[in-house]
Chains A and B, each alone.
Chain A
Amino acid sequence: MNAFGLPEILFLLQGLKWTVLLTIISFIGGGVIGLLIALARVSTSPVIQRLAAAYIALFQGTPLLMQLFIIYYGLALLQINVDAWIAVSFAYTAHASAFLGDIWRGTIQSLPRGQTEAANALSLGYVSRMRDIILPQALKISLPATIGFAVQLTKGTSLAAIVGFIELARAGQIVSNLIFQPLLVFGIVGLIYFAICWPMSIWGTRMERRMSRNHA
């Protein structure tokens, strides 16, 4: 009973499954909404621009843990009964949308103004200008930062453990409480996170280096 065996490993892997799913769901959801936020942030309407800026500032100026608490308990207060995984996915999606929105806002604004002017001179409409000219370039430049955020998001999902959602970190806590070997268990849990995050970090850094070399 008091040993780290196959059942414990399987339980951790079960948690890992949720860590990965939660990251993927919120990265995709956050990506879609984040794109809208980025477009709103560079909009020509000052009202829309300011609303998007406030949305980003709100998420960047408060702890991720509080964002999680507010959405988790807020849904309960509104008597919206959803599964825990939906509630936490919702919170991480909102979080990711603000950060991705700000990253992409930055790369859209980093493009030379001539790009927009040339598109206007060719009398391209807004949709075509964004879809065919601006976004493909902006998203490409943003890749290293976007991958960097994916690493942050993967690590960030561990905070779902604090609201009791059983992902990898919470699974680790449960196993640790069961077999009284916190160092072994949290060491293994840490290494699993490392095995996911490190390759992504290396990928992002290499891409960044390659890009800055091409520009030099």
Chain B
Amino acid sequence: MKRIGGALGAAVVACSLLAMGMPAQAQQKTSVKVGFVTFLSGPAAGPFGVPAKMAAEAIVESLNAGKGPAPYQIKGFGGLPIELVVADEAGGATKQVAEFRTLVQRQEVDMVIGYIGSGDCLAIAPVAEELKKLTVLFDCGTPRVFEEASYKYVFRTRAHATMDAVAATMYLLDNRPAVKRISGINQNYAYGQDSWNDFEASIKAMKPGVEIVTSQMPKFGAGQYGSEVSALLASNSDVIHSSLWGGDLEAFMLQAQPRDLFRKSVLVLVAGEPYLHRLPGKIPDGTIVGARGTNGVFAPDSPHKRWLMEIYKAKAGVDPNYPAFSVAQAFLGVKAAWEKATAKKIGSAIPMGAAKNVKEEMEKAYAPPTQDELIAAFENSTFDSPSGKVKMGLGKGHQAVMGTAYGTTRFENGVVKVGNIKYYDAERVTPPEGISSLDWIKSGFRKSK
């Protein structure tokens, strides 16, 4: 018995020594675990969440196979395959904070890419900071994320929603300069309120004297818009602005269309692009639509756009809408930063001949970047995406800046097409660093603080 115990003890010690002797191999990173959060259920799932998930899967498969467009041909992130852990964004901000903690603390993801809802982004950002976990917001619009706070671990790879309002106003006044009466219908939460406030302020700044007749603010997910449609009909507005999205926009269109609301009022849908193929026949001709950037139908031709179109269509069977473009921006932004950080480490490694511990120095140089190194490379970076060049130019280098575009719909042969497209440079439609969007608009779009 004693001998058996002794042998067992020796085996345990041997195993422990073996384990201790190979820390480098055991702990070496074999993949990059990315928590990906998007709506998988609820009204935002169909037009936004599910396309985003399919885009993430298609992009990860393509990048892991080393089939990304130049300069993204290295497999995965810096040679390490990307592993997705997908979570549902439905359920509200409180639930999302709990889910975020689960992703970070239990699932031990290396980073989180996610969030379509502005309320979720505002709730998650401080928690990401508290848990010190790199978090890339890929789609939410509220400018308040970086205007009201400063973050080290949080990035947003798409432009914020102020440009939607400013560019929509420019487009509207360019094409309908005689506009006199304007109304709005927007959801009563962060994104809807910001969107309307920015638009209202932009109109007042660019064309003083325009009358704001009514601003309808139904709650998120209201579903029934009969009274709101009546109020808009009674308003006799020339223009109706809306940032409604998801099932809310679809229900509103279904209820407003038979009541001839759009016969005398032009509709401006700042986030209307994903619905062009979902509501054929329900989007009236002459509707002004945006895609919250040069995404979807507004994306200029490039190898990156063609790559996304191809891999997404192979996966989903349809062309990618703007949330899919936003996902591509997030993954390519991280990839560009990752590989930039790695290249910097290799470039600054001590030359072989001069190093005392050549092996250790080389291992260190070629190791995946630490989170801090990745963040340093990500800040103020510029990278190519299917929507064009993205510059992390606001929020102390954490908030993307891009131009945007608007167009006008017409129904042809059973599909909704977008014509009369106009592009707006980022500088014209985005506030500079250090001033809130609303203050910038109210100041008459001054160039700097």
A and B together in one complex: no
